[in-house]
Amino acid sequence: MSIRSCRRTILFVLVLFAAPLFTAFFFLAAADACTNILVSRGASADGSVFVTFSVDGTGAGQLSLSFPKIKKEGDEEDQTEKQGVHPAITEWEGPTYKVLNHLNEFQVSIGETTFNGRVELTNKHEGALTYDRLMVLGLRRSKTAREAIVEIDRLMQTYGYGSTGETLSIGDKNEVWLMEIMAKGEEKGAVWVAARIPDGAISAHANMSRITSFPLDDPENWLYSDDVVSFAVEQGFYDPESGKPFSFRDAYHPNISKLIQRACAGRIWSIFRRAAPSKNFSSDFYRVVEGAEPYPLFVVPDEKLSVYDIMQLMRDHYEGTPWDMTKGVGAGPFSSPYRYRGLTFEIDGENYAWERPISSQQAACVWIAQSRNWLPDPIGGVYWYTPDDAFTSCFAPFYVGITDVPKPYKTGSYEKISRESAWWIFNLVSNYAYERYSRVIDDILEVQREQERYYLEMMPEIDKMALALNDIDEGLMRQFLTEYGINTGNALFERWRQLYDDILTKNIDGYRKGKDGPPAEVGYDESWLRKVIVDRGEDLSIGKAPAEH
C-alpha cells in the first residue's frame, strides 16, 4: 500500500470551467500529501489570522491574479462564452471578487489536504464539483470564512461533491475554520462538519481526518450538514445505541492504516511539539503504539506565533527527534533529509515506509496567507509565497491589493526548464542541495534568513506608506504595493540565481573552494565511512594504518 503523492499533479487553467470569471487564474490541484496550519488571532503575535499550505505535487507552482469580469450596462449576453461552462458559474448572479492564488481581496484564504476516507462514497453525478473547484468558487464569492462555508455547502448540495474525503482550512481577518467533507455516493450532496479554531489556539491537518466528536448545539463554533449523523446511521457507519458519541472521523475515515497514521499524524505531532513544547506531546500516536491517545484538534502554543515562527513550523524533517531524517544510512554521506518516492518499499516480503516530513522535495510551492483586520483589505492581506520546498527556498510577501505579479513568478512549466522561471531557479538550488545537503545547506539558509528578516523588518514601513497613499488615492496605494511586490519578487529571483551560481562555483567536482588556498577535498564523515566498512570493508582494505610515533 502506498500514499499517492497527489491525485491530480498538474498545473491547469480553469478555462472551460470558469472562463467568464477568471483571467489567467492558475490553480495547482495537488492532494494526498499536503500540510496546513491554522492560527487564530489570539495565537498570533500581532493579531493576524494565518492559514498555511504546502502544496505537495508534481506541478510547477506559480503566482496568478484573477479579476472579476464586470458586465457593462447595455452589453448583450455572449451565449458562445457559456459553452462548456459549468452551471455553477452561469447561475451565479452575485458579485465576484479578486483572488491572488488562494487569498481573496477580503482576506479570505482557503487551503486543503485530502484524506480520502470512504472512497466508495465519491459522488458520480455528472457535474459534481471537485474540492478544488469549490475552493475557487468559495474564494470568488465570499467576504468571510463563514460565507465561504455556506457557499461551499450550497454548491455541494446543488451540484454534488465529486471528490473523496477532504479537509479545508478557511480563514478570514477575524477567525479561521477547519472543515471536513465527505460525499454521499449515489446521493447528490455531501456531509460535512466545520470547527472554528478557538481564539488563542492553532490547529493543523495533513491528509488524515481530524474531527472526531463535536457538540451539536454550538453554532457559534461548530457548523455541520443537517444529515452528517443521520446519513452515517443509515449507512451503518454509526450506531446511536452504542452509547458512544458520534465521531466524524470514525464514521467517514475508519480503519486508518499504520502507514496513514505514521505518514499523517507525524506531521501534526511535529507541529504541535514545536509550537507547544511544554505540553510534551507523545510520539506514541504517530508511531502507532496501541492504545495511544490521538492528538487534539486544537492546541494553545506556548508563545504567540510570529510570521517568522510560522515559516519555521513549515520547515521540518523531524530534526532533534529519534526520527531525525538527517541521521542514519538513509541520509547518505551528506546527511540529506530527503527520501525519494515511493514512500513505501518491500524487501524480502516485508513492507517498509520512509518518514514523511512537512518539508518535502516534491512541494510545488508553499504559502502563508496572513489576514489583518486593523488594516484596509488591500493592505491587510499578505500572501507569503515560495516556489518549491520551503526549507531550501524563501518566502516573499505579496499584498493582496496588487494588480500584477513578478514575471518570473508566473513563468515556466513543469515540462521544460526555464532560467527565467522562479520555480525552476528555486528548484535548481534545492535539487543541488538534496545530494550535497550538509555541504551547502548552511549557505542556503544564510541567504534565506537574511532575505526573510529583511522583508519582515520592512513590512511596518510598507504598511505605513501604503496607508498614507490610501488616504490620498486608492489607485496610488495599489500601484505602490504592486511595484513593491514586483521589485521584491524580481530581486529575490535574481538573488536566488546568484545563490545557485555561488554554491555551484564553491562545490564542484567533489571539491570545496574556500576564500584562500587551493580547493579542499570534501571527503566523507567518519560515521558514514564506518557504514561503508561494514558493507565493503574487505574489498576496500589496504592494510593496517601505520602506528604513530
pLDDT value, residue 456: 98
Q: Compute mean pLDDT per 10 residues along the chain, 549 residues long, and list them.
A: 34 32 39 84 98 88 88 52 78 94 98 95 91 97 98 97 97 98 96 98 97 97 98 97 96 94 95 98 96 97 98 97 94 93 89 92 94 98 96 98 97 93 97 94 98 98 98 97 98 98 92 85 88 87 73
* pLDDT score of 528: 87
Does some domain include residue 311? Answer: yes
Domain total of the chain: 1
Q: Given this model, what pLDDT does residue 176 score?
A: 98
* 429 within domain boundaries: no
The answer to whether position 487 is within a domain reads: no
Q: Establish if 28 belongs to a structural domain.
A: yes
Residue 539's pLDDT is what? 87
Residue 548, pLDDT score: 60
Cα gap 21→96, rounded to integer Å? 8
Per-residue pLDDT at 284: 97
- The dihedrals phi and psi of 66, each to the nearest 5 degrees, come to -120, 140
Distance between CA atoms of residues 112 and 170, nearest Å: 9
Q: What pLDDT shows up at residue 13?
A: 28
CA 397/CA 375 separation, integer angstroms: 16
CA-to-CA dists, residue 518 to 58, 168, 439, 521, 524, angstroms: 40, 54, 17, 10, 19
Domain membership of residue 237 as a residue range:
11-323+364-374
Predicted confidence at residue 547, as pLDDT, reads 62
Q: What is the pLDDT of residue 18?
A: 35
Asked if residue 237 belongs to a domain, the reply is yes
In a domain, 232, yes or no: yes
Residue 540, domain member (yes or no): no
For residue 239, tell me if it sits in a domain.
Answer: yes
pTM for the model stands at: 0.92
| CB count in 10 Å sphere of residue 273 | 21
